[in-house]
A and B are shown apart, each in its own frame.
Chain A
Amino acid sequence: MLGLVAFIACKEERVLPDQNAEADFEYIEVETPAGFPAIDYPMENRPTAERIELGRLLFHDARLSRDNTVSCASCHLASHSFADNEAQSVGVDGLRGDRNAPSLANVAYHPYFFMDGGVQTLERQVIAPLDNVLEMDHDIVEVSDELSQDEFLNSLAKAAYGRNLDPFVLTRSIAAYERTLLSGDSPYDCYLQGDQFALTAEEKAGMELFFSERTQCGSCHSGFLLTDFSFNNIGLGEEYLDKGRRRVSGDESDNGKFKTPSLRNVALTAPYMHDGSLRTLEEVIDHFNSGGVDHDLKDDRIQQLNLTEEEQSQLKAFLLALTDKSFVTQDLPQQN
Chain B
Amino acid sequence: MKHVMMLALAAAMITFIGCEDPEPIEGTLRLGAKAMYDGNSMIIGDIYTDNNDRPINIEQFRTYISSMKAVKDDGTIVHIKAIDQINFAESWFFDATLPAGDYYAITFGIGVPESINADQDPAQYPNDHVLGFTGNNGMFWSWNSGYIFTKFEGKTALDGDENSMTDPYAFHVGTDNFYEEFTFNVDFEIDEARTDVDIIFNCEQFLEGTDDSIDLATDNITHTADNIPLAERFMALFRDGINVELAN
Q: What residues of chain A have their CB less than 8 Å away from a CB belonging to chain B?
A: 1-4, 6-8, 10-13, 15-17, 19, 114, 118-121, 123-124, 127-128, 130-132, 139-141, 166-168, 170-172, 243, 246-250
- Which of B99, B116, B143, B145 makes the CB contact (< 8 A) with A7? B99
Q: Are A167 and B15 neighbours in the complex by a CB distance under 8 Å?
A: no
A-B residue pairs in contact (CB < 8 Å), sample of 30: A2-B11, A3-B11, A3-B15, A3-B18, A4-B11, A6-B14, A6-B19, A7-B17, A7-B99, A8-B79, A8-B99, A10-B19, A13-B81, A15-B83, A16-B116, A17-B124, A118-B143, A120-B119, A120-B145, A123-B123, A124-B145, A127-B121, A130-B142, A131-B142, A132-B143, A167-B123, A167-B133, A168-B124, A247-B225, A250-B224
Query: Contact: A13 with B143, CB < 8 Å?
Result: no
Q: In the complex, which residue of chain A has the Cβ closest to the Cβ of B127? A: A141
Across chains A and B, the number of contacting residue pairs, with CB separation under 8 Å, is 108
Which of A7, A17, A118 lies in contact with B22, CB distance below 8 A? A7
User: Which residues on the A side are within 8 Å of B118 (C-beta)?
Assistant: 120
Say whether, besides A8-B78, A11-B97, A171 and B123 are in contact (CB < 8 Å): yes
| Inter-subunit contact B119/A11 (CB<8 Å) | no
Contact status A16-B7, CB under 8 Å: no
Contact, CB under 8 Å: A248 / B225: yes
Q: B residues 1-55 with Cβ under 8 Å of A? A: 7, 11-19, 22
Query: What separation, in Å, do the CA atoms of A114 and B13 have in the docked complex?
Result: 57
Min CB distance A100 to B, Å, is: 16
| Given A3-B15, A127-B121, A167-B127, A11-B142 contact (CB < 8 Å) | no
Q: How far is the CA of A170 from the CA of B133 in the complex (A)?
A: 13
Report whether A127 and B122 are in contact in the complex, using a CB–CB cutoff of 8 Å: yes
Band of interface residues on B: 35 or more
Residues of A within 8 A of B127 (CB): 141, 166-167
Known contacts A128-B143, A141-B134; A11 and B122 CB within 8 A of each other: no
A4 lies within 8 A of B82 (CB): no
Other than the known A7-B15, A10-B18, A16-B124, what 18 A-B pairs have Cβ atoms closer than 8 Å? Answer: A3-B16, A3-B18, A4-B14, A7-B17, A8-B79, A8-B99, A10-B19, A12-B79, A15-B131, A119-B143, A124-B145, A127-B123, A128-B142, A141-B127, A167-B122, A167-B127, A243-B226, A250-B227
Determine if A15 and B143 form an interchain contact, defined as CB atoms under 8 angstroms apart.
no
Cα A19 to Cα B118 with chains together (Å):
19
> B residues near A, CB below 8 A?
7, 11-19, 22, 76, 78-79, 81-83, 97, 99, 116, 118-119, 121-127, 131, 133-134, 141-145, 224-228
A13, B126: Cα distance in complex, Å:
14
Q: Could you tell me if B19 and A127 are in contact, using CB atoms closer than 8 angstroms?
A: no
Rounded to whole Å, the gap between the CB of A87 and the closest CB of chain B is: 20
Give the docked Cα–Cα distance between A141 and B138 (Å): 13
Hey, which chain B residues are within 8 Å of A8, CB to CB?
Answer: 78-79, 99
Find out whether the CB atom of A246 lies under 8 angstroms from the CB atom of B225: yes
Give every chain B residue within 8 A of A170 (Cβ-Cβ): 123
The residue among B15, B22, B131 with the most chain A CB atoms within 10 A of its own CB is B15
Task: Point out which of A11, A16, A243 has the most chain B C-beta atoms below 10 A from its C-beta.
Answer: A11
Residue of chain A at shortest CB distance from B115: A15
Contacting residues, chain A, for B227 (C-beta < 8 A) = 250
Evaluate contact between A119 and B79: CB separation under 8 angstroms. no
CA A15 to CA B126, docked complex, whole Å? 10
Point out the residue from A2, A12, A124 that lies within 8 Å of B15, measured CB to CB.
A2
Which chain A residues lie closer than 8 Å to B19 at the CB level?
6-7, 10
CB nearest neighbor in A for B138: A131
Task: Give the interface centre of B16, B119, B124, B227 by most chain A CB atoms within 10 Å.
Answer: B124
Chain A residue nearest to B22 in the complex (CB) = A7
- Interface-centre pick from B16, B83, B133 (highest chain A CB count, 10 A): B133
A171 to B120, CA, bound (A): 13
A114 partner residues in chain B, CB cutoff 8 A = 143
CB distance from B149 to the nearest CB of A (A): 15
Contacts of A120 on B, CB cut-off 8 Å? 118-119, 145
Asked if B123 contacts A17 (CB within 8 A), the reply is no
Q: Contacts A250-B225, A250-B226 hold; do A11 and B123 have CB atoms under 8 A apart? A: no
B189 to chain A, nearest CB (A): 18
**In contact, A19 and B226 (Cβ under 8 angstroms):** no
Specify the chain A residue showing the minimal Cβ separation from B113: A15
Flag if B116 contacts A15 (CB, 8 Å): yes
Bound CA span A198–B218, Å: 62
Whole-angstrom distance between the alpha carbons of A39 and B201 in the complex? 48
Top 10 A-B pairs ranked by shortest CB distance?
A3-B15, A250-B225, A10-B19, A3-B14, A250-B228, A118-B144, A124-B121, A168-B123, A128-B142, A3-B11
Which one of A1, A13, A17, A249 has the greatest number of beta carbons of chain B within 10 Å?
A1
